[in-house]
């Protein structure tokens, strides 16, 4: 069964350093999502891509976060510089088409970020 | 703005028994989708069940069923014949009916379910 791949699974960094997370969605899925899940809370959307275009980045802290999906397939989320409050699980999800009512988002295993 | 509330941070159930997880939501839309996702420890989140708001019939998936009360904006999950593998964090989520920018899932804070042998 096809799955969303993410790497690394765990990342420890010091504040002010740069970090990057990678996501490979399920083949053929046009829509890709990055969510942030702070411990004890539900995931919150950071950015949504439709193919290579951003359709929603309203909750992305753009002064330090950036995301790209250059060829409309895999995606990278970057934080520079990292702050203590960025410690969280970063989840990637993909779906076939948001225009389909029964569209289902499939999640990857996540990257657990710890900022020291 | 839409919100999702899960008022039970933790629940416990005996193996083979039935448990119900609660969820309420707030929206001004008439058409939308509701979901229950399961997040096992150190594993990815998976979809348990989906309910379309325009459908009156409650969704069921094997041992999992929902009680959808649209007027009350309530969406509870019932797990029958609980198994050890059901132990996980369960998230209730809302999604608008139309795609594009409104396609994001809005999650509750989760309910941690423990299954006692």
Q: Measured between CB atoms, does B72 come within 8 Å of chain A?
A: no
Q: What torsion, rounded to 10 degrees, do the Cα atoms B94, B99, B102, B105 define?
A: 30
| Structure confidence at residue B102 (pLDDT) | 57
Q: Which of B24, B41, B96, B99 to mutate to test the interface with A (most CBs of A within 10 A)?
A: B99
**DSSP conformational letter for A84:** G
Give dist(CA A62, CA A69) in Å, integer: 16
**Per-residue model confidence as pLDDT tens digits over A32-79:** 999 999 988 999 999 999 999 998 999 999 999 999 998 889 999 999
Residue A83: count of CB within 10 angstroms of its CB: 12
pLDDT category at A100 given cuts 50, 70, 90 is: low
CB contact under 8 A, B50 and A102: yes
Higher pLDDT, B101 or A115: A115
CB contact under 8 A, B44 and A107: yes
Q: Report the range of poorest mean pLDDT among A75-79, A84-88, A99-103, B36-40.
A: A99-103
CB contact under 8 A, A42 and B45: no
**Per-residue model confidence as pLDDT tens digits over B10-48:** 999 999 999 999 999 999 988 899 999 999 987 889 999
Percent of chain B with pLDDT over 90: 81
- Report the Cα–Cα distance between both ends of chain B, in Å, rounded: 41
Check whether A1 has a pLDDT greater than 80: no
Give dist(CA A5, CA A2) in Å, integer: 9
CB contact under 8 A, A45 and B104: yes
CB contact under 8 A, B44 and A104: no
Q: Which of A9, A23, A96, A98 to mutate to test the interface with B (most CBs of B within 10 A)?
A: A98
Q: Report the range of poorest mean pLDDT among B2-11, B42-51, B81-90.
A: B42-51
Give dist(CA B7, CA A24) in Å, integer: 34
If you compute the radius of gyration of chain A from its CA atoms, what whole number of angstroms results?
Answer: 14
Cis peptide before B52 (omega within 30 of 0): no
In this structure, the strands spanning A75-79 and A19-24 are antiparallel
Cis peptide before A81 (omega within 30 of 0): yes
Tokens of A12: 């420890």
């Amino acid at each position: 069964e096809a799955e969303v791949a993410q790497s690394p699974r765990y990342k420890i960094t010091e504040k002010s350093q740069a970090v990057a997370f990678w996501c490979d969605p399920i083949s053929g899925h046009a829509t890709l999502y990055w969510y942030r899940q702070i411990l004890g809370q539900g995931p919150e959307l950071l950015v949504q891509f439709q193919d290579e275009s951003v359709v929603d980045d309203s909750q992305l802290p753009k002064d330090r976060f950036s995301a790209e999906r250059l060829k409309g397939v895999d995606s990278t989320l970057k934080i520079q510089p990292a702050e203590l409050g960025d410690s969280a699980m970063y989840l990637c999800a993909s779906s076939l088409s948001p225009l389909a009512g029964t569209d289902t988002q499939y999640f990857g295993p996540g990257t657990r970020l710890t900022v020291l | 703005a839409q919100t999702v509330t899960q008022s039970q941070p933790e629940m416990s159930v005996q193996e083979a028994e039935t448990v119900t997880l609660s969820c309420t939501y707030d929206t001004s839309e008439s058409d939308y989708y509701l979901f229950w996702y399961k997040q096992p420890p150190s594993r990815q989140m998976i979809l348990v069940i989906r309910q379309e708001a325009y459908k009156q019939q409650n969704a069921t998936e094997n041992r999992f069923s929902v009680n959808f009360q649209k007027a009350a904006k309530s969406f509870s999950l019932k797990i029958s014949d609980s198994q050890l593998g059901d132990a996980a964090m369960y998230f209730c989520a809302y999604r608008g009916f139309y795609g594009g920018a409104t396609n994001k899932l809005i999650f509750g804070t989760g309910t941690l379910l423990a299954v006692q042998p």
